[in-house]
Amino acid sequence: MSRLAEALRSGRFVVTAEIGPPRGADPDAVTDKAQLLRGWVDAANITDNQGAHVRLSSLAGGVLTMRAGVEPVVQLTCRDRNRLALQSELVSAGALGVPNVLLLTGDHPKFGDHPDAKPVFDLDGVQLVWTARTMRDNGRLISGRPVNPAPRWLIGSVENPFAPPQSFRAQRLAKKVAAGAEFVQTQFVFDREMFERWMVDVRELGIPDRCGILAGVGVVRSLRSLEYMRTKVPGIHVPDAIVARLRGVPGDRVAAEGARLCVETLQWLSTVDGVAGAHVMAFGAEQVVPEILEAARLGPGGPAHAAQRAEGVPNAG
């Protein structure tokens, strides 16, 4: 049912992107973004109150994305829901035919638009992955009660290869894989050296055979957004050389340089042993994703190719 699972099995470089749902009750805000991505990506994440800011729910966004012809990856965090609500959401995603879920701990409310909210964190990200696998493969809830029929989504999670304790980061991913994660999306890869060091540990643990590694790639559109990422978003590591490179071009060319950097990173990632694909995050500038993927010649190859494949015409790319 999950085309993302199929793409991961095919061995081709897989590409996912991200759709941030709107704050308003506007379905077009989701479907417009989905239409820009259709055919260019294997699936698109729908974030769950990203950065602890209130948005249209990820499940609703996932359904809208499916209607627009793009396969969704519905994100679910432990920040806003206890174990009852999380399991209920997972059952609902199954009933609505959502093919992929991405399960994570979530940002602390401190960083969002309601810092006065009660942080829930009844489960942690690893436990949520484990819960999902138990629901799907054992047909049981955390309580042991049966889930019948069991939902059938592909289970994904996240990891940050760049945050301390570095020696434990690959093992933490191994824990998530043991808990049931079948694909993982990483924090933005700006520091290739550090990513490569993490991949050595990941390969040593045999993770790429059991879990598709999708490396996170960020599209820097302006120096302001670069500054925001470096200073305001926890867990993002941008080496000085990258900062110098983006600051070194005239203001009106930063976006183009950011796109070029993204293309180079994608092409490099496609050569790294054990990397199954990339997760491209454009922060609301979804229109640049097709250009970048076309320039990098990676992913499903656009709506034309997707249509050809559907008719059984072999894809040159």
| Cβ closest to another protein, residue 38 vs residue 279 | 279
H/E stretch holding 43: strand 43-46
The DSSP symbol for 140 reads B
Question: Which residue of 11, 24, 165, 312 would you call a contact of another protein, by CB under 8 A?
Answer: 165
Q: Is 123 in the site for another protein (CB under 8 A)?
A: yes
Taking the complex as a whole, the smallest distance from the CB of residue 154 to another protein amounts, in Å, to 17
Q: Are 174 and 205 in contact (CB under 8 A)?
A: yes
Q: Which span (51-59, 108-116, 261-269, 291-299) binds another protein, by CB under 8 A?
A: 108-116
In this structure, the chain runs to a length of 317
Question: Which residue of 167, 241, 251, 312 would you call a contact of another protein, by CB under 8 A?
Answer: 167
Question: Which residue of 70, 78, 211, 298 would you call a contact of another protein, by CB under 8 A?
Answer: 78
Taking the complex as a whole, the smallest distance from the CB of residue 166 to another protein amounts, in Å, to 10
- For the chain, helix (H) and strand (E) counts, in that order, are 12, 8
| Cβ closest to another protein, residue 98 vs residue 132 | 132
Q: Is 146 in the site for another protein (CB under 8 A)?
A: yes
Which residue carries 């009106």 as its tokens? Answer: 252
Helix 27-37 with 288-296: angle, nearest 10 deg = 20
Taking the complex as a whole, the smallest distance from the CB of residue 97 to another protein amounts, in Å, to 21
Instruction: In whole angstroms, give the CA distance from residue 37 to residue 24.
Output: 21
Site for another protein in 186-205 (CB under 8 A): 187
Instruction: In whole angstroms, give the CA distance from residue 176 to residue 130.
Output: 8
Taking the complex as a whole, the smallest distance from the CB of residue 169 to another protein amounts, in Å, to 9
Q: Is 271 in the site for another protein (CB under 8 A)?
A: no
SS3 of 112-141: the string is: CCCCCCCCCCCCCHHHHHHHHHHHHHCCEC
How far is C-alpha 106 from the chain's CA centre? Answer: 13
Widest CA span of the chain, in angstroms? 61
Q: Is 185 in the site for another protein (CB under 8 A)?
A: no
Taking the complex as a whole, the smallest distance from the CB of residue 151 to another protein amounts, in Å, to 14
Q: Is 12 in the site for another protein (CB under 8 A)?
A: no
Instruction: In whole angstroms, give the CA distance from residue 86 to residue 84.
Output: 6
Taking the complex as a whole, the smallest distance from the CB of residue 201 to another protein amounts, in Å, to 13
| Cβ closest to another protein, residue 121 vs residue 283 | 121
- Helix then strand then coil, % of the chain, to nearest 5: 45, 15, 40
Q: Are 52 and 113 in contact (CB under 8 A)?
A: yes
Instruction: In whole angstroms, give the CA distance from residue 124 to residue 126.
Output: 6
| Cβ closest to another protein, residue 64 vs residue 158 | 158
Q: Which span (10-18, 56-64, 175-183, 306-314) binds another protein, by CB under 8 A?
A: 175-183
Q: Is 295 in the site for another protein (CB under 8 A)?
A: no
Contacts of 203 (CB under 8 A, 6+ apart): 273, 274
Question: Which residue of 19, 30, 37, 179 would you call a contact of another protein, by CB under 8 A?
Answer: 179
Residues forming contacts to another protein in the complex (CB under 8 A) are: 78-79, 83, 105-108, 110-111, 115, 119, 121-127, 130-131, 133-134, 137-146, 158-160, 163-165, 167-168, 171-172, 174-175, 177-179, 187, 234-235, 237
